[in-house]
Amino acid sequence: MIAQIPRFRRLAVILIAFQAILWPAMAWGDGATDWIDGPKADVRLISATTAVGDLNSIPLGVEVRLDEGWKTYWRSPGDAGIPPFVEWDGSTNLAETTFQWPAPVRFNFYDLETFGYEKAVVFPVEAQVANIGEAVNLHARVDLLICDDVCIPHTFEATLDLPAGDAQPSEFANLIDRYRNQVPGDGRRAGLAFAGADVSGPAATPLIRAAFRAETPFQAPDLLVEGHEDAVFSSPRFEFHEGGYLVLASVGAEDIFGEGAPVDLTSDPVTFTLIDGPRSIETRAVPTPDGLAGVDVGWLDFAALVSIMGLALIGGLILNLMPCVLPVISIKLLSVVSHGGGDPRAVRLGFLATTAGIVVSFLALASLAVGVKSAGLAVGWGIQFQQPLFVIALVVILTLFAANMWGLFEVRLPGRVSDAAVSAGNSHSLGGQFFQGAFATVLATPCTAPFLGTSIGFALSRGPLEIYAIFAALGVGMALPFILVALFPALATKLPRPGPWMNTLKKVLALALMATAVWLLSVMAVQVSPEGALLVGLLMAAIFVIFAVRARGNLNEASPKTMAAVALAAVLAFAVPTVLPAIGIGVQDQTRLAARDEAWRPFDRSAIPGLVADGKVVFVDVTADWCITCQVNKKRVLDTADIIAAFEQGEVVLMRADWTKPSDEIAGYLASFGRFGIPFNVIYGPESPQGVVLPELLSDDSIFDGLAQAGVTNTLAAR
């Protein structure tokens, strides 16, 4: 039939048929520019309408098509990257534009976290028309950064004309609308609602908690926090409540430069963007200390609190076996043997008093932690040992203990503290028994036992109720041996009766207290100076000599002159940390202290991601001279031949963070792991860019396993 049609008519029929076949594909040209090709990414400008019509706002879209593995960024790109930017210079009949951001995805690259898009994305744009009904000429300059292992900046220029006339939906209307629905809004369409946000913790490392509700249970939420240009925010941790209908997200913040500067989150609103699969919500709010007062999360928090209290109970019990408590074993031992053949009722009351001393002391520590947190200062387990005056106070008390147990005086010194100190050393009074428990607690705080770090970290990241509950559980755990004797007094009364042999035992056990005082002076030598520690030591020796002279002259009844001399020596000791630095004697250099061992470099948190990116393994040891467990770890594990050989074979970079003196940087670093006490050891590597946290008590196997997880494979020969 076609052969019977004249040639020119035959050509027209073929063209009409060809146009009919291709018409759907050709229609894609309405409301869109051609793809603008670039290396690894293509861009085009699309419109939801084919013409302007009588619209005052036209839905547009910047469509980006990315090669496999390549990504571009959200408005807040995270640790790296630059967000897309569009300029509309040269456009006509265009009043203004609103660029919108679909919900992004979180990407992890070594120790970096970024937010953005992969494969394809459409950025919706609302274009306001200047003169309704007139044609619009759009000229867009799109600056785009795309990254994989490397990053490539792109600049695209696209021109799209939208004529006057009837505004029909284009082929891209549904695509633009689909991505516009992915732009986080107030959450009502998604069935989401913001319930409040609070802030707590030290000013240098505050913790934000934000609560959200949903009409259907949350599945896999993520939270992005923006709004403070000088702060960076950690990955969120989530707690699910009410069967998943309420979620509580916790996010830590710190100074972007890592210098420990205060981060004020209560002066300006913070933007919270919660994403849970296809649904999302965005809101701005100012976190306040009581921002979650109206949110009931009690039932699940109670379950978590009970489980952590169980860990605290075990940790407190184990604390009795830690090296920090061993120096005070002399006082404990004397307390037990002094009850040999005694009245069971007196034994029970004495050990209950010691139990009360331990528990009350832990509650006092809890009060201190609550107060320090409320003041916005750094808080941690054992940080009172960072203060030279506290160390000197313990040295003075230990000196009085030892002098009394040595038999140099038998009377009580004036003053409540001294009275209790002497009573604790050589008395059956309930006050003395109470003080024994309190003093054992004080000397226990430089140690971190198994389970202790987890429970303390949980407590110090929560509110006052959790802090008091967990510290009380720690106290009960540490007091369990005393509670056991109180329940079964025969454990003490069946021991040999006290006699002259106890005087010899007291003198031997007093040596443990003297050794503890010497250790504390070594801590002070780091905090202040060796000269300062030596001076305090000489003053304590003077106290011993004063009492010894009086005892030799059978003048045990301490005269006012004796007491004045002892008091003067103590006052001079307390003045040492202030006077010596003021006159420029022996001021310590903290950088030198951190690098006393040439195999270790000073802690530099900002250098770790770069070292890991270069394929290095980094071992971080957070320690302090006052932390006895840290010293045990060094002697038993870190400084042994096998571990040193493993570090050398694996070419491990060793970093040591010295927390002997206060450091907001180190406190913030510990808090980023939910830890508030030391020892703390973590291994970074190509296989573990986020770090492998090791147990408090190190072992060869724990270090070898951590190195293997980090990517070191040549340490087996060192076993």
Q: What is the DSSP code string of 141-200?
A: EEEEEEESSSEEEEEEEEEEEE-SS---B-TTHHHHHHHHTTS-BSSTTTTEEEEEEEEE
Half-sphere exposure of 702 (CA within 13 A, CB side): 16
Clarify whether residues 143 and 290 are in a common domain. Answer: no
Per-residue pLDDT tens over the stretch 261-319: 788 888 889 999 999 989 999 999 999 887 887 776 655 456 667 878 888 888 888 77
Domain, as residue range, for 219: 192-296
Residue 561 has pLDDT above 80, yes or no: no
Distance CA 540, CA 302 (A): 49
Clarify whether residues 320 and 418 are in a common domain. Answer: yes
Clarify whether residues 385 and 418 are in a common domain. Answer: yes
* Sign, Cα dihedral of 439, 445, 449, 451: positive
Distance CA 126, CA 514 (A): 77
Question: What pLDDT, on a 0 to 100 scale, did the predictor assign at position 656?
Answer: 92
Burial class (CB in 10 A: 0-12, 13-18, 19+), 219: exposed
Q: Which residue would you say has higher pLDDT here, 450 or 639?
A: 639
Question: How many Cβ atoms sit within 10 Å of the Cβ of residue 236?
Answer: 22
- Kindly indicate the confidence band of residue 110, based on its pLDDT and cuts at 50, 70 and 90: low
Residue 442 has pLDDT above 50, yes or no: yes
Is 573 within the bounds of a domain? yes
Question: What pLDDT, on a 0 to 100 scale, did the predictor assign at position 524?
Answer: 82
Distance CA 214, CA 192 (A): 5
- Terminal CA-to-CA distance of the chain, rounded, Å? 91
Question: What pLDDT, on a 0 to 100 scale, did the predictor assign at position 340?
Answer: 53
Q: Which residues are CB-neighbours of 427 under 8 A, at least 6 positions away? A: none
Clarify whether residues 36 and 23 are in a common domain. Answer: no
Question: What pLDDT, on a 0 to 100 scale, did the predictor assign at position 498?
Answer: 53
Domains in the chain: how many in total? 5
The residue out of 135, 154, 180 marking a domain boundary is: 180
Is 186 within the bounds of a domain? no
Beta strands 151-162 and 136-147, pairing class: antiparallel
Per-residue pLDDT tens over the stretch 491-540: 666 655 555 655 676 777 777 778 878 878 887 887 777 888 888 889 98
Helix (H, G, I), strand (E, B) or coil at 618: strand
Question: How many Cβ atoms sit within 10 Å of the Cβ of residue 243?
Answer: 9
Question: Which of 151-165, 223-237, 331-345, 476-490 reaches the highest mean pLDDT?
Answer: 151-165
Report in angstroms the alpha-carbon separations of 587 from 84, 384, 501, 529, 570.
52, 20, 47, 6, 22
Clarify whether residues 418 and 562 are in a common domain. Answer: yes
Per-residue pLDDT tens over the stretch 56-80: 999 999 999 999 999 999 999 988 8
Clarify whether residues 141 and 205 are in a common domain. Answer: no
Alpha-carbon torsion angle 533, 538, 542, 545, nearest 10: 120
DSSP string over 198-254? EEES-TTS-EEEEEEEESS--SS-EEEEE--TTEEEPPPEEEEEGGGTEEEEEEEEE
Clarify whether residues 18 and 36 are in a common domain. Answer: no
Residue 553 has pLDDT above 80, yes or no: no
Q: Which residues are CB-neighbours of 692 under 8 A, at least 6 positions away? A: 682, 683, 684, 685, 706, 709, 710
CATH number at residue 238: 2.60.40
Is 187 within the bounds of a domain? no
Helix (H) or strand (E) holding 284: strand 279-285
- Kindly indicate the confidence band of residue 412, based on its pLDDT and cuts at 50, 70 and 90: very low
CATH number at residue 48: 2.60.40.1250
Question: What pLDDT, on a 0 to 100 scale, did the predictor assign at position 243?
Answer: 77
Per-residue pLDDT tens over the stretch 363-406: 988 888 787 766 655 566 666 777 788 888 888 888 887 787 77
Clarify whether residues 23 and 170 are in a common domain. Answer: no
Clarify whether residues 248 and 154 are in a common domain. Answer: no
Question: What pLDDT, on a 0 to 100 scale, did the predictor assign at position 8?
Answer: 40
Clarify whether residues 323 and 425 are in a common domain. Answer: yes
Question: What pLDDT, on a 0 to 100 scale, did the predictor assign at position 326?
Answer: 58
Is 166 within the bounds of a domain? yes
Q: What number is the average pLDDT over the span 113-118?
A: 93
Report in angstroms the alpha-carbon separations of 548 from 77, 406, 636.
71, 10, 39
Q: Which residues are CB-neighbours of 705 under 8 A, at least 6 positions away? A: none
CATH number at residue 688: 3.40.30.10
Question: What pLDDT, on a 0 to 100 scale, did the predictor assign at position 139?
Answer: 95
Per-residue pLDDT tens over the stretch 566-605: 888 888 888 888 777 766 665 554 444 444 467 899 998 8
The residue out of 296, 314, 347 marking a domain boundary is: 296
Matching residue, tokens 């090791």:
694
Is 322 within the bounds of a domain? yes
Is 46 within the bounds of a domain? yes
Residue 624 has pLDDT above 50, yes or no: yes
Whose CA is closest to 243, among 193, 300, 205, 285? 300
Helix (H, G, I), strand (E, B) or coil at 489: coil
- Kindly indicate the confidence band of residue 716, based on its pLDDT and cuts at 50, 70 and 90: very low
- Read off the amino acid at residue 239: E
Question: What pLDDT, on a 0 to 100 scale, did the predictor assign at position 511?
Answer: 79
Question: What pLDDT, on a 0 to 100 scale, did the predictor assign at position 719?
Answer: 47
Clarify whether residues 630 and 667 are in a common domain. Answer: yes
- Kindly indicate the confidence band of residue 323, based on its pLDDT and cuts at 50, 70 and 90: low
Distance CA 193, CA 247 (A): 11
Per-residue pLDDT tens over the stretch 673-714: 777 778 889 999 888 887 888 988 888 989 998 998 888 866
Is 661 within the bounds of a domain? yes
Residues β-bridged to residue 43: 36, 64
Distance CA 270, CA 488 (A): 58
Whose CA is closest to 605, among 671, 677, 655? 655
Is 185 within the bounds of a domain? no
Report in angstroms the alpha-carbon separations of 500 from 493, 496, 504, 505.
18, 12, 7, 9
The residue out of 269, 296, 323 marking a domain boundary is: 296
Question: How many Cβ atoms sit within 10 Å of the Cβ of residue 557?
Answer: 10
Report in angstroms the alpha-carbon separations of 436 from 8, 342, 344, 425, 430.
114, 19, 19, 8, 10
Per-residue pLDDT tens over the stretch 245-258: 899 998 988 887 76
Clarify whether residues 554 and 596 are in a common domain. Answer: no
Whole-number average pLDDT of the chain? 79
Q: How far is C-alpha 129 from the chain's CA centre? A: 50
